[in-house]
Structure 1
Amino acid sequence: MSAPTLLVGVDFGLPHFDADLLELGLLAKTGGLRPVARLTCKRKAPDAALFVGSGKADEIKALALLHGAVEVLFDQALSPAQQRNLERHIGLPVNDRTLLILEIFAQRARSHEGKLQVELARQQYLSTRLVRRWSHLERQSGGIGMRGGPGETQIELDRRMINDSIKRIKERLVKVKKQRNTQRRQRDRRDTFNISLVGYTNAGKSTLFNALVKARAYAADQLFATLDTTTRQLYLGEAGRSVSLSDTVGFIRDLPHGLVEAFQATLQEATEADLLLHVVDAANPDFPEQMEEVRKVLQEIGANHVPQLLVFNKIDALDSEHFPLHLQDTYEWNGLPVPRVFISAQKGEGLALLRSALSDIVKETPPWVSPFESDPRGIDREYTGGVP
Structure 2
Amino acid sequence: MTEHVLIIAVERKSGEDLHFKYALEELISLTETAKGEVVDVLTQKRDRPHPKTYLGKGKIEEVHELIEALNIDLLIANDELSASQMRNLEEEFALPIIDRSQLILDIFAGRAKTREGKLQVELAQYQYLLPRLHGQGHSLSRLGGGIGTRGPGETKLESDRRHINHRIDEIKQRLKTVVNQREQYRSRRRENQTFQIAIVGYTNAGKSTLFNRLTNSDTFEQDQLFATLDPTARQLKLPSGLQVIISDTVGFMQDLPTALIAAFRSTLEEVKEADLIYHVIDASHPDHHQQQETVKRLLKELNAEHIPILSVYNKKDLLSTSFIPFEKPAVTISAFEESDRLRLLYETEKLMMTHWEPYTRIVHASEGKVLQQLKKASIITEQTFDEVNEAYTIHGFLPSSHALRQVEELEE
Pick the TM interval, shorter chain: 0.7 to 0.9
The aligned counterpart of 1:103 is 106
The aligned counterpart of 2:198 is 196
CA 1:259 to 1:221, structure 2 compared with 1: closer, same or farther past 3 Å? same
Q: Aligned partners of 1:92, 1:134: CA distance in 2, in Å?
A: 10
CA 1:323 to 1:289, structure 2 compared with 1: closer, same or farther past 3 Å? closer
The aligned counterpart of 1:293 is 294
Q: Aligned partners of 2:284, 2:32: CA distance in 1, in Å?
A: 21
The aligned counterpart of 1:43 is 46
Q: Could you tell me the percent identity over the aligned residues?
A: 44
CA 1:83 to 1:188, structure 2 compared with 1: closer, same or farther past 3 Å? same
* Contact preservation (8 Å) 1:31, 1:103: yes
Q: Aligned partners of 2:109, 2:15: CA distance in 1, in Å?
A: 29
Q: Choose the corresponding residue for 1:360, options 350, 354, 357.
A: 350
Q: Aligned partners of 2:29, 2:159: CA distance in 1, in Å?
A: 38
The aligned counterpart of 2:68 is 65
Query: Secondary structure, in 3 states, of the residue corresponding to 2:135?
Result: helix
Tell me how far 1:323 sits from its aligned partner.
4.2
Query: Secondary structure, in 3 states, of the residue corresponding to 2:15?
Result: coil
CA 1:349 to 1:29, structure 2 compared with 1: closer, same or farther past 3 Å? farther
Query: Secondary structure, in 3 states, of the residue corresponding to 1:6?
Result: strand
CA 1:155 to 1:244, structure 2 compared with 1: closer, same or farther past 3 Å? closer
The aligned counterpart of 1:222 is 224
Encode CA deviations 1:75-131: one digit per residue, 9 max, x unaligned: 111001001101111221111000000000000000111111000001111212322
Q: Aligned partners of 2:296, 2:208: CA distance in 1, in Å?
A: 19
Taking structure 1 as the reference length, the TM-score comes to: 0.83
The aligned counterpart of 1:177 is 179
CA 1:366 to 1:69, structure 2 compared with 1: closer, same or farther past 3 Å? farther
The aligned counterpart of 1:350 is 340
Q: Aligned partners of 1:101, 1:331: CA distance in 2, in Å?
A: 29
Encode CA deviations 1:319-343: one digit per residue, 9 max, x unaligned: 1x3345xxxxx745xxxxx200000
The aligned counterpart of 1:27 is 30
The aligned counterpart of 2:310 is 309
Q: Provide the alpha-carbon RMSD of the alignment.
A: 1.9
Encode CA deviations 1:59-84: one digit per residue, 9 max, x unaligned: 11211221111111111110010011
* Contact preservation (8 Å) 2:10, 2:48: no
Tell me how far 1:51 sits from its aligned partner.
1.0
* Contact preservation (8 Å) 1:176, 1:265: no
Q: Aligned partners of 1:225, 1:134: CA distance in 2, in Å?
A: 31
The aligned counterpart of 2:272 is 271
* Contact preservation (8 Å) 2:90, 2:137: no
* Contact preservation (8 Å) 2:228, 2:249: yes
The aligned counterpart of 2:249 is 248
Gaps of 5+ in 2: 139-155, 358-412
Encode CA deviations 1:173-220: one digit per residue, 9 max, x unaligned: 122111111101111111100110000000000000001101001000
The aligned counterpart of 1:55 is 58
The aligned counterpart of 2:382 is none
Which letter does structure 2 place at the counterpart of 1:129? Answer: R
The aligned counterpart of 1:382 is none
Query: Secondary structure, in 3 states, of the residue corresponding to 1:290?
Result: helix
Encode CA deviations 1:32-69: one digit per residue, 9 max, x unaligned: 11111111111101111001122211211211221111
Which letter does structure 2 place at the counterpart of 1:5? Answer: V
Which letter does structure 1 place at the counterpart of 2:349? Answer: S
Gaps of 5+ in 1: 136-153, 325-329, 333-337, 368-388
The residue correspondences of 1:63-212 to structure 2 (distance < 5 A) are 63-133=66-136, 158-212=160-214
Q: Aligned partners of 2:266, 2:52: CA distance in 1, in Å?
A: 37
Which letter does structure 2 place at the counterpart of 1:106? Answer: A
Report the more deviating stretch, 166-175 or 107-116.
Answer: 166-175
Taking structure 2 as the reference length, the TM-score comes to: 0.78
CA 1:134 to 1:86, structure 2 compared with 1: closer, same or farther past 3 Å? closer
Report the more deviating stretch, 226-235 or 165-174.
Answer: 165-174
Encode CA deviations 1:260-318: one digit per residue, 9 max, x unaligned: 00001100010111111000000011011001111121111221221100000000000
Query: Secondary structure, in 3 states, of the residue corresponding to 1:76?
Result: coil
The aligned counterpart of 1:339 is 329
The aligned counterpart of 2:410 is none
Which letter does structure 2 place at the counterpart of 1:3? Answer: E
Tell me how far 1:8 sits from its aligned partner.
1.5
The aligned counterpart of 1:8 is 8
The aligned counterpart of 1:236 is 238
Q: Aligned partners of 1:349, 1:93: CA distance in 2, in Å?
A: 50
